[in-house]
Amino acid sequence: MIKGIRKGNTMENTNEMTIEFDSRSCNEGFARVAVAAFCTQLNPTLEEVADIKTAVSEAITNSIIHGYENEVKKIRIECQVTEREMHITVIDHGRGIENVEKAMEPLYTTKPELNRSGMGFAFMEAFMDQVLVSSELGKGTEVHMKKTIGCIGGIFE
């Protein structure tokens, strides 16, 4: 163990990763796998990895379909691990959400004609410990998700 990377200094106990990619649907698979790979340093169970992949996939799909409405612009994902917590923020600069509360209701969708189920936010909330959405019309949307990974023995142990 390297001296100095010990609890007490919070900056040393975090690890961060940011990716930015075009809002094309073919990037969805890559992005969720990248986030899942980053979280493996916390020794997650397979189920926890699957939870994170599903939640990230939902957030990116929302940005592509609703945020940018299939225009090709940039989506940014910021990840941070602290001790046993995984923080993921998915950011787009699309049209924003008019009524966040309504959007987060299960089965509510503004695009039923595209075979959307309206379960995106419901799945994010089901699979992550916390989901916070901040959105401004015409400016974009930020979805912040947090999940505590159960297993002990991350890279900082």
Partner 1 sequence: MDEVLQVDGTCMTVFVPKELDHHNAEGIIREADRVLERENIHQIVFDFRDTEFMDSSGIGVIMGRYHNINLVGGYVSAVHVNERINKLLHLSGVYKLITISKEQGWSDKGNKKGEYYGKHQ
Would you name the residues annotated as active-site residues? 58, 62, 116
Q: Which residues of 51-73 are buried (b: 16+ CB within 10 A; e: fewer)?
A: bbbbbbbbbbbbbbbbbbeeeee
In contact, 105 and 66? CB cutoff 8 Å = no
Choose between 11 and 107: whose C-beta lies nearer to partner 1.
107
Cβ proximity to partner 1: between 28 and 92 the closer is 28
CB of 2 to partner 1, least distance (A): 36
Taking CB under 8 A as the binding criterion, the range among 12-20, 85-93, 122-130, 146-154 that sits at the site for partner 1 is 122-130
Indicate the residue among 25 and 99 with the shorter CB distance to partner 1.
25
Closest distance of CB 67 from partner 1, Å: 13
Q: E strand or H helix at 47, and its extent?
A: helix 46-62
Order of strands across the sheet with 140-148?
14-22, 74-82, 85-92, 140-148, 130-136
Greatest alpha-carbon pair distance for the chain in Å reads 58
Question: Could you give the CA distance from residue 68 to residue 24 in angstroms, rounded to a whole number?
Answer: 10
126 is a contact residue toward partner 1 (CB under 8 A): yes
CB of 12 to partner 1, least distance (A): 34
Shortest distance in whole angstroms from residue 127 CB to partner 1: 9
Q: Which of residues 14-73 bind partner 1 (CB under 8 A)?
A: 25-26, 28-29, 32, 47, 50, 53-54, 57-58, 61, 64-65
* Single-letter amino acid code for the residue at 29: G
Burial class (CB in 10 A: 0-12, 13-18, 19+), 116: middle
Footprint of partner 1 (CB under 8 A): 25-26, 28-29, 32, 47, 50, 53-54, 57-58, 61, 64-65, 106-107, 114-120, 122-123, 126
